[in-house]
Amino acid sequence: MLFVVFAENDREEEMSFTEKSYKPIDINKVISGKKTSSLWHLMSGFHLHYLVANLFTGLAALARTFIYLYLGGFVDRILEQGVVGTDLIVSALSFGGLITLQALSSFMSSWMATFTAENSTRRLRDYLFDHIQRLPYSYHSEAKTGDLLERATSDVDTIRRFFADQAIGIGRIVMIFIISFVAISQISLRLALISIIIIPIILVVSMFFFKALSKAYEAYQEQGAKISTDLQENLSGVRVVKAFARQDYEIEKFDKDNKEKFRLGKKFIRMHSLFWPLTDIVCSAQTIASSFIGATMVFDNIMTLGQYLSFVGLLGWLIWPIRNLGRLIIATSQTFVSLGRISTILKADEEDMTSATYQPEGNIQGQVKFDDVCFAYEKDQVVLEDVSFSCEAGEVVALLGSTGSGKTSLVNLLPRFYDVTCGQILLDGVNINEYSRQFLRSQIGIVEQEPFLFSTSIRGNITYGVHREVSEEEIVMAAKEAAIHDVILDFKNGYDTMVGERGVTLSGGQKQRLAIARTLLINPRILIMDDSTSSVDMETEVQIRAALEKLMMNRTTFIIAHRIQSIMNADQILVFDQGKIVQKGMHAELVNQPGIYQDIYEIQARIDSALQEEIERVDLL
């Protein structure tokens, strides 16, 4: 993967759009408080909209209640004296007015709830994305991309649905229950009390399912994250999969994980399927019992027929929130799980980009010294041990060694992707830890072994890391120095050509040179080349190196390479083995010393000689 370390803007500058769009929130309150208070704090700035939504919900409930009460009175009047002429028109208009009021109130309640949900989760997405951008390199090297995607999409959407439906549902349930209970009490206090007998039963059943469903949903989401990771890795490495004909293996692996998600999904749905019939049976039994008791009261002349009709209508309106109380509790359990998964990311410490005890007035010179540096990813996983060397500004330092010998780990210490375990690194005579990471990364350009390009134009990829206006001449110059300009002109749209996802429309060598042009445009004081010419042909490599030799003048350069031909002109060559420097010097010195460097040189010389002989033999045919 190839990427360039670019200077990060200040947090205040990057968050300006967010702060202007909506009220900022204190994420620490979200991740440190109880789940309910965390959700409430996520709605900061939209509490008024939420309360207004609940007021409209209450108004809709009142309108519906008056419809049932008015219906009961209307029936009683017809039975007692009849309704004709003007009274009939007034009654029809009254019904129409109440229905219109209920519809408009329901619409406004839904609109305000959706407004709250969309804006709250939009802010959460922004904060989550911003936080992920600021997490240290060590976090991203361990975290799974698919898992992060699942948490940033599926789990955030679960919270959005909660805000849009369940959060307003809390107010709806409370208001509808209170209004309906009071209205039924006006008809018959006895019927009102009988109608709420099932509440304790529903609460007990719901709380039992709350705990069980929380565990089931969390397992389901975790498996979903695993599938996302499988899919992301497969699509990213589709060329490797096809090259090694591993489609059947990948299909079998995905099918295995998919079956596990299906199994967990069935378990989760089975619990849902068990919950709803239980609550429906209880609620239906309550409705039948209450309706029967109400009917006997009509036969006993305790209640009129109109009152009974009003009661039956209000009973359904009273049972509905009781039944949906279970739905609310279950949905809340899912939301708590998703909130916990998101909080896990938000709790990770951000990388300190700005703290510094030393800030140079201009650019660095580029003098680097490693003084007894040790580094370990974990306590028992030492990668570098007692590494000491120094280089003057503008020198070229080559790193050679087998895979896993510590070369890449060493250069990752320069931009402070990681900090040393012991010893110190001096940059222009100052401990590197005294510089801010933001400043360091503005001075360092890294071109890694596998190029990474964004799904935008060639021009956009070249100028990606430059935080200023870039002229066309500068872009063209960088492209020429990277030996890619003529290739770009061959494309139909030139510099406006879209490169596709991960640069899929370009060859390996073209992507490499384009990425080099991107790095060269930011003009870093320290340049790190991680075997960056491995994907180009010999002719192109010669062109690139001719340009780089001129550009590396007065610029400290670290080259990680596996071909000795690429580093023969370096000012000093460091040979690594198992995290230690085992040889140090220039090519002319090392090639005559018994050791790893001499062995590699002789092996590569034999390979080059054999290849040249084969080429000459083919030419003679």
Fold classified for 30-347: ABC transporter transmembrane region fold (1.20.1560)
Weakly modelled stretches of the chain, pLDDT under 70: 1-22, 76, 80-85, 210, 235-244, 272, 326, 500-505, 531-551, 615-616, 618-621
- Which alpha helices (DSSP H) does 237-304 contain, by range? 238-243, 247-299
Report whether 54 contacts 175 (CB < 8 A): yes
The predicted structure's pLDDT at residue 297: 85
Report which of 388, 421, 426, 385 is spatially closest to residue 406, judged by C-alpha positions: 385
Report whether 118 contacts 87 (CB < 8 A): no
**Sequence-separated contacts (24+) of 139-144 with Cβ below 8 Å:** 139/348, 144/225, 144/229
Dist CA 130 CA 326 (whole Å): 36
Residue with tokens 């400043």: 439
> How far apart, in Å, are the Cα atoms of 57 and each of 114, 203, 357, 388, 597?
13, 23, 57, 71, 78
Count CA within 13 A, CB hemisphere, residue 541: 13
- Phi-psi group of 58: left, alpha or beta (phi > 0 → left; psi -120 to 50 → alpha; rest → beta): alpha
DSSP line for 401-462: E-TTSSHHHHHHHTTTSS--SEEEEEETTEEGGGS-HHHHHHSEEEE-SS----SSBHHHHH
Report whether 520 contacts 551 (CB < 8 A): yes
Report which of 396, 405, 411, 402 is spatially closest to residue 586, judged by C-alpha positions: 396
Domain ranges, ordered by start, for the chain: 30-347, 368-596
**299: which strand partners?**
none
Report whether 316 contacts 165 (CB < 8 A): no
The predicted structure's pLDDT at residue 72: 76
Report whether 150 contacts 228 (CB < 8 A): yes
Fold classified for 368-596: Rossmann fold (3.40.50)
Dist CA 201 CA 280 (whole Å): 12
Dist CA 225 CA 288 (whole Å): 45
User: What b-and-e string marks burial along 352-363, b requiring 16 or more CB atoms within 10 Å of the CB?
Assistant: ebeebeeeeeee
- Phi-psi group of 406: left, alpha or beta (phi > 0 → left; psi -120 to 50 → alpha; rest → beta): left
Q: Please provide the size of the chain in residues.
A: 621
Displacement of CA 584 from its chain's centroid (Å): 44
Any idea what DSSP says for residue 467?
Answer: -
The Cβ of residue 443 has, within 10 Å, a number of other Cβ atoms equal to: 22
pLDDT digit string (tens) for 150-182? 888 888 988 998 888 878 777 777 777 788 788
Dist CA 257 CA 225 (whole Å): 10
The whole-model pTM stands at 0.74
pLDDT digit string (tens) for 103-119? 898 899 888 888 888 88
The predicted structure's pLDDT at residue 186: 83
Report whether 194 contacts 317 (CB < 8 A): no
Any idea what DSSP says for residue 162?
Answer: I
